[in-house]
Amino acid sequence: MQAIGATGALAVAGCLGGESQANTEKNEPAAEDDGLPAAKSVDVDRIARDPTDIPPPVDWDEPREHDVTIRTERVTAEIEPGVTFEYMTFEGEVPGPMLRVRRGDRVNLTFDVPDDLNMAAHNMDFHAVYGPGGGADATTIAPGDDPA
């Protein structure tokens, strides 16, 4: 998959569904008679990407080619104590990583999607990219598509 970037950033967040709640007073999972499923075990302590994690300004004058592989990962995290949510992330955090390129650079994007997550379309949100929807046609992969 290829997209042409112009000082772009990729940032994606997704979700697979289903939040759960727990009895926060006793710090125990909610009872089945509450009608809510119990909170799931969390995979990470922090789901939000550090907002200061920004790549440095570009330091090149001529167009370059960038090979970028983005790994899709399902992660369960707490929204608040005792309340969990199952996220579909890129690189394990929300939003996905930021990539800084300059006008005229070429970005070769490859999705690394495990088979168990290959049930829905995936795409990246590229800001300042040429084409309808920020190049969405060039950055969308459907279930069963070749991720390269």
- pLDDT score of 130: 65
Give the integer Cα–Cα distance in Å for 74 and 56: 28
- 95, part of any domain: yes
- pLDDT score of 98: 87
What mean pLDDT comes out for the span 130-141? 68
- 145, part of any domain: no
Give the integer Cα–Cα distance in Å for 137 and 1: 10
pLDDT single digits (tens) 35-63: 667 888 888 888 888 999 899 999 999 99
- Please indicate if the annotation marks 66 as binding a ligand: no
Pairing of the two strands 83-90 and 65-80: antiparallel
- 40, part of any domain: no
β-partners of residue 110 are: 69
- 70, part of any domain: yes
Number of structural domains found in the chain: 1
Domain extent, residue 90, equals: 65-138
Torsion angle of the four alpha carbons 114, 143, 7, 59, in this order, in degrees rounded to the nearest 10:
30
Q: What's the pLDDT band for 66 if we cut at 50, 70, 90?
A: very high
- Residue 75's CATH number: 2.60.40.420
- 132, part of any domain: yes
- 45, part of any domain: no
- 107, part of any domain: yes
- 41, part of any domain: no
Contact present, 23 and 29 (Cβ < 8 Å): yes
